[in-house]
Amino acid sequence: MDSIVSASRQGTDVPQYTRPAVNVIHNSKEVLSLLQEKNPAFKPVLAVIQAGDDNLMQTMNQNLAKEAGLDITHICLPPDSGEDEIIDEILKINEDPRVHGLALQISEDSLSNKVLNALKPDKDVDGVTDVNLGKLVRGDAPECFVSPLARAAVELVEKSGITLDGQKVLVVGAHGPLEAALQCLFQRKGSMTMSSPWATPQLQDKLQEADIVVLGSPKPEEIPAAWIPSGAVVLNCFYEFLSGRCCFTLGVRMMTKAGRRKLKGGSPGVPVNGLITEESVSLLAAALRIQPPEEHGEQRPEMAQRTAASKMATALLETAASLACAQDDIEISRGQTPKAVDVLAKEIGLLADEIEIYGKSKAKVRLSLLERLKDQTDGKYVLVAGITPTPLGEGKSTVTIGLVQALTAHLKVNSFACLRQPSQGPTFGVKGGAAGGGYAQVIPMEEFNLHLTGDIHAITAANNLLAAAIDTRILHESTQTDKALYNRLVPLVNGVREFSEIQLSRLKKLGIPKTDPSTLTEEEVRRFARLNIDPSTITWQRVWQTAHNPTVTVLTIHSCTTDSTNHTTTMVVPSPLPLPKALSSPVRLLDTNDRFLRKITIGQGGTEKGHSRQAQFDIAVASEIMAVLALTDSLADMKDRLGRMVVASDRDGQPVTAEDLGVTGALTVLMKDAIKPNLMQTLEGTPVFVHAGPFANIAHGNSSVLADKIALKLVGEEGFVVTEAGFGADIGMEKFFNIKCRASGLVPNAVVLVATVRALKMHGGGPSVTAGVPLKKEYTEENIQLVADGCCNLQKQIQIAQLFGVPVVVALNVFKTDTRAEIDLVCELAKRAGAFDAVPCYHWSAGGRGSVDLARAVREAANKRSRFQFLYDVQLPIVEKIRVIAQTVYGAKDIELSPEAQSKIDRYTQQGFGNLPICMAKTHLSLSHEPDKKGVPRDFILPISDVRASIGAGFIYPLVGTMSTMPGLPTRPCFYDIDLDTETEQVKGLF
């Protein structure tokens, strides 16, 4: 080796087998010289982690690196080093900015997937990580590291004059990264490539058919050399450089009868006709490995320093094995190892003190980031909505994820997905998981769907604390005198009586300018101490969580199901956390569908002293606290909103708020962590914020304003934030524009409207679709007429988006049963209806690659001038705002208010809440109030059965028809399929 390098340095003749490697070394020196002209301080460093004593390999690396002008550092570990020791060394080098490449020389027994993927993809010079292999498989070889062994082998075969196009190549005995790289590179050259282990019954037949045989490991003694046909090219490509042994085991030669005899018992060692020696291939592989990476020529600042880089890191692409799309969603998710969340955070520009890590793959992002990036220009803002869906959903989440994967991982545009946290109601009920699907999903999907970082549990605790406070106050006011009540509210502590901060706020609200509790008059004491809540006006409902009851409470549940059958159940609920003389009937936050809690009677226990009343439970995501979380823009704003939440009216008709109950500070404490967005990643390593999850048919159905605002800063001016609205455009999109955009002040640039052939057929008159029931043939066979008839719903939803002045791109989520004629028809009719573009999408089966056309269309549409406008002026009377939505969006002839709804409207108007936007609580299965009315219903009267107010969140929400805020479970819920493997602790059946 020294003589070869020396000869090349002196310009003398070198052996023929070394010439390819010497050429690479010379080219590397020229590239390095050019890079150092721009940046004299640049000095590439290759690190090699070696487990064992392989001085020969070490010497070759050192000599070649020295010749190329590359520094090399060896980290020598004991031969018996364990996986954790190796990974620790890898992680150290990953974070060392001086090192530009990292190679492994360790035994094959230590080459686990965990070890290989501990390498940073942009330092993986041997191309063994899933990221680099995935890019290679997907055709992005120029953007990734490729196995030097595989490159050397293919290059030298070509240099020998052998044409690869049309050749039959058999790779035998190879496995892992080398096998994948060899197959891909030969296929790129037009070869027909197969792979086989040594121990296969059909090996002789496969060998006889092959033009080129690639040996990935030594030939077993029992395999006769005569199996390889005369005239075949044999290429020895043992993965020795990772095994800690000498890598001079490569060779390419034409096989003759004599040559076949040399195969006996192991590696061939004699070249034929001096074509290519074994040493030439190994030397070339080593030279290719130490090439200076051009992208490191300029010392790259971290994304945190430049806030919005032109490219976000595109890690975690599908591996070769992952590309077979016949897997279940959960298998695809588990087949991909997410990058460490701290690595993801660093890639997207977050500082170490701006994240709070939850496990390995989730983190919360601190709001201080907004102050640091306040001068950063926002990126483009894109909303994903949908047509009126079937009960199975149409894939908005999958489209959202596929779109950001296409933008970031394929078009190299910064992008962020912002999604809602799914409720366990749909997860265990009808819909199943909500992490996307196929090759367009958030990972790990189990963590996404179950608990996440506990935000919903925080809402549970806060909601139920407020519920307990309401009934507790009613009880104590009814059983105590003004003086006794006042003395308990402002107790004497260590001889001193003081108002708390929140009590001082109540005094100010009452117009009592005093701070000394002893100076209040009897009238002022009465006004301060008594809220005089009218129980019949209480609007704050309970949700399902452990009770805060001091005694055993008897809860009588009267439930009325859809078949009008009445059920009564009595429950005795122990209360582990006592509050002095508290009423607090069983307080449960239910994040699971339970129709039997739609109507209950509380206060049946002896300690409640006859203060029973009718109430109900709501699903957690219907809590106003969830809506507040989604619409707030700071911790201070959230505290104000929580305090403004109206829970009832007093006997004079004035609103009673959480602030009046003195619970605002406590609610804020419970929500202080939930306000921070949750950072996760897609299957292709692009960033995702998962934050807040208000129901779209009850609340406004959009993820948090904070997540959107932070993401818009992180992506930079040329980047994209793609956020999703729940259900159809008539619900989620309308609320996004009229409620969320008013609260955030953000202006959307484009709408992606998701449609499926399946849903359009339903709107065209197809049979009903039921979750868990096989689809009828109308949905699995071509039916052009049904599609054409159903496009009326798509056209209507396009028109709704146009009311707001935002360009619409239709994303047709293609299923395998859709035909080309059906796809073309939908796209054509969508464009005729005014869509900016209509694009078929294949992200489920192909990941981001299947949504590149959609990404290009969205990028073009978002660059058009925005003419965004709200649908109505909030100063209009409540009834008129409801009418505008009903007539303009739904297509109703008019609205009809029940006496209760009219009474509530009058009360809210009198209380000063008439200028809030409207959040319609309506079925998502139809533009009308009747779920079975498909297509575009016309000339119907929209019934408003009730009207409620979410004053803290900032909207009035009318209940349309028989809309319930507690969904019910179907006959066969999804929980039948969900289980836990107690040995592996893996969740089964979530998808």
Q: Report how far residue 154's alpha carbon sits from residue 408's, in angstroms, rounded to the nearest whole number.
A: 31
Given 262, 396, 644, 676, which residue is catalytic? 396
Rounded distance between C-alpha atoms, residue 112 and residue 90, angstroms: 13
End-to-end CA distance of the chain: 57
Residue 44, CA distances (Å) to 63, 119, 120, 563, 773 in order: 15, 17, 16, 74, 60
Q: Is 137 left (phi over 0), alpha (psi -120 to 50) or beta?
A: alpha
Q: List beta partners, residue 949.
A: 956
Q: Indicate if 727 belongs to the active site.
A: yes
- Assign 3-state DSSP to the chain and report helix, strand, coil percentages, each to 5: 40, 15, 40
Q: How many residues are present in the chain?
A: 991
Name the token pair of 723: 């956020």
Q: Which of the following is catalytic: 248, 727, 737, 991?
A: 727
Q: How far is CA 503 from CA 199, 506, 526, in A?
A: 80, 5, 14
Residue 938, classed as helix, strand or coil, is: coil
Q: CA 229, CA 211: separation in Å to the nearest integer?
A: 8
From residue 476, alpha-carbon distances to 463, 471, 491, 660 in Å are 20, 9, 15, 15
Active site residue 868: no
Distance CA 801, CA 785 (A): 26
Q: 396 catalytic, yes or no?
A: yes
Name 276's bridge partners: 252
DSSP letter at 107?
-
How many other β-carbons are positioned within 10 Å of the β-carbon of residue 706? 29
The phi, psi pair for 557, rounded to 5°, reads: -110, 120
- Annotated active-site residue 844? The verdict is yes
Exactly one of 390, 398, 472, 668 is catalytic; which is it?
398
- Catalytic residue (choose from 29, 43, 159, 431): 431
Q: Is 982 a catalytic residue?
A: no
Which of 844, 940, 955, 991 is catalytic? The answer is 844
Q: Is residue 815 annotated as part of the catalytic site, yes or no? A: yes
**CA 261 remoteness from chain centre:** 57
User: Which residue among 198, 227, 596, 815 is the active-site one?
Assistant: 815
For residue 403, the number of C-alpha atoms closer than 13 Å in the C-beta half-sphere is 37
Is 544 tagged catalytic?
A: no
3-state secondary structure of 848: helix
* CB atoms near residue 18 (< 10 Å): 22
Angstrom distances, CA of residue 98 to CA of 76, 121, 123, 126, 901: 19, 16, 11, 18, 69
Number of H helices, E strands in the chain: 36, 33
Catalytic choice (339, 420, 506, 761): 420
How far apart, in Å, are the Cα atoms of 16 and each of 13, 20, 547, 705?
Answer: 9, 8, 83, 66
Catalytic residue among 153, 615, 696, 953: 696
420 in catalytic set: yes
Q: Which residues are known to be catalytic?
A: 396, 398, 420, 431, 696, 727, 815, 844
